[in-house]
Chains A and B, each alone.
Chain A
Amino acid sequence: MIRLSARSWRIIAALGFWVLIIAAWTVGGSTGLAIAYAAGAWLAAFSLQAWRRQDEFEKSAQKFSWMFGGLFGLLISLALLPAATQPGVISPLIGWVADALGSPDPVTPAFVLGAIYIALGQLVGFSVCWVGWHISKR
């Protein structure tokens, strides 16, 4: 395997992933679904390369951030659930997801939005923790 930096592997992972996701979205149907799975596989494969090329300092930052940032992001997103489910807050988002998916099933957009909500909470928690960890180690 080519010896690239962790950053280069991350760029390859992200670029390829988004190109494939846009292609999946454009094509749609079962072919689009297959391309979306390929995008996930691409992201996993090249993220693994990025992880392996990172030094132990950065690996520690990532482990710490996923552990605590991810956990607190999850807990905070759950704590905010009562506010998020107030009338009028979430229905425009469900409408937007339904339009994007083009699914006639009313449950699917709500399920997808729920998954995005939790993932976003964890991602925000991770990012805050990652930045805080690096500032604390200066």
Chain B
Amino acid sequence: MKNRIRVLRTERGWTQADLAKLLDVSRNSVNAIENGKYDPSLPLAFSISEIFKLRIEDIFQKD
């Protein structure tokens, strides 16, 4: 699954560690999700969408 998390994060001036803290996950998790190596669960995807104030489908797209 592709996503725009890296773009959205850098637009806000956040580091991976900042986003990880907001999501209460490890920085490795954020890195793996950004690189498309790990697909987050639905609850985590909802948390990401809430933090960026966007819909899930505006952040994640099918390959």
Contacts and interface: CB of A to CB of B under 8 A. Distances in A.
Interface residues of A, number: 9
B28 interface: yes
Contact of A134 (B24, B28, B40, B41): B28
B22 interface: no
A99 interface: no
A55 B37 contact: no
B38 interface: yes
Interface in A105-138: 134, 136-138
Interface string B28-50: 11011101011011001000000
Contacts of B31: 138
A56 B29 contact: yes
B44 A138 contact: no
Contacts of A136: 37
Contacts of A91: none
Interface in A40-58: 55-58
B25 interface: yes
Contacts of B28: 57-58, 134, 137
A58 to B, nearest CB: 7
B37 A137 contact: yes
A60 interface: yes
A60 B38 CA distance: 10
Interface of B: 24-26, 28-29, 31-33, 35, 37-38, 40-41, 44
Given A55-B26, A58-B28, A137-B37, 6 more contacts: A56-B25, A56-B41, A57-B25, A57-B33, A136-B37, A138-B37
Interface of A: 55-58, 60, 134, 136-138
